[in-house]
Amino acid sequence: MAKPRIHRLPAVVLTIVGLLAAGHIGATLAFTGPNTPLKESLQPTLNSYFRGPLDQGWSLFAPAPYSKDEYMVVRACLSEYDVCAGGADAGAELTPWRNVTEDEFAEIDYNIFADRGARQSKVMHGRFWSAASNLTGEQQTTAEGNHIDGEPVFGVDLYSSEAEETYSSSQLSNLRRYQRLEDSAVGLGSLYMYEDYGDDVTLVEVRMLREAVPPFSKRHDPSAELSQSWLNIGWRPATEFDEEVYAAWS
């Protein structure tokens, strides 16, 4: 058999694209793999390379499998802003708690082709819980308080130079991430409350509940108590959106 001859252009393409491809696969292996000293040594380059369209992660139910039920519960205050600020004692009209995750999951029961709307609050829960868990105890307590006057939750604009002086870079990174997810969670909670109560919604309060699946050894014991844990976002002003957002949720 005659030896295959490669021409100049394909040879250049093979060399350059081949090297780039090999480098990309090596980087993917390092980025998506378990933590190793090699991975740490390549940071933050790896993180910046895999931002956006190349982002990926393949732990897939590992190292710990999904072993809990995650719920997002919301309620709203329907009174005027000043009345809501005084709480129930001042005559504020509060809605009952709504477990929006439970409502979404109704679509999943016996239906493998449920749309993704059935998982909106569940994925919000997962992202928020992870961010809130990175806060210190004091920061968590602050976040669980009521902040209804529109002032920053942590008392300082997290993107200001003052914040950079107050917090270390890793703390600031955690706080900013938390704030982004709190804003998103309050936004989602507000939309659910608008859906139920319309424009009367003034404030919203969001709580995240985790309920453990019974341990394998107690799976046949219906009386087994399920452990619960909560993370709360105190009262916040309901997020306001454009008309098109409300139209999509109507």
Q: Which of 81, 219, 221, 227 binds other proteins (CB under 8 A)?
A: 219
Among residues 208, 145, 199, 161, the alpha carbon closest in space to that of 181 is found at: 208
- Say how many residues touch other proteins, by CB under 8 A: 81
Residue 146 interacting with other proteins (CB under 8 A): no
14-43 footprint of other proteins as x/- string (CB under 8 A): x--xx--x--xx--xx--xxx---------
CA distance 224 to 215: 9
CA distance 56 to 33: 11
Residue 7 interacting with other proteins (CB under 8 A): yes
Positions 75 through 94 that interact with other proteins (CB under 8 A): none
CA distance 24 to 86: 57
CA distance 99 to 210: 12
- The answer to whether 72 touches 101, Cβ cutoff 8 Å, is yes
| Min dist. Cβ of residue 86 to other proteins (A) | 28
User: Who's near 224: CB < 8 A, 6+ residues apart?
Assistant: 214, 215, 218
For other proteins, give the closer residue by CB, 107 or 144: 107
| Min dist. Cβ of residue 50 to other proteins (A) | 9
Here the tokens at position 62 are: 């590992």
Residue 62 interacting with other proteins (CB under 8 A): yes
Q: Which of 81, 97, 159, 249 binds other proteins (CB under 8 A)?
A: 249
Among residues 81, 60, 237, 82, the alpha carbon closest in space to that of 153 is found at: 237
Identify which range of 38-46, 57-65, 73-81, 154-162 contacts other proteins by CB under 8 A: 57-65
Residue 216 interacting with other proteins (CB under 8 A): yes
| Min dist. Cβ of residue 89 to other proteins (A) | 31
Q: Which of 134, 180, 197, 232 binds other proteins (CB under 8 A)?
A: 180
* Cis amide linkage into residue 10, ω under 30° from 0: no
Positions 114 through 133 that interact with other proteins (CB under 8 A): 114-117, 119-120, 122-124, 126-127
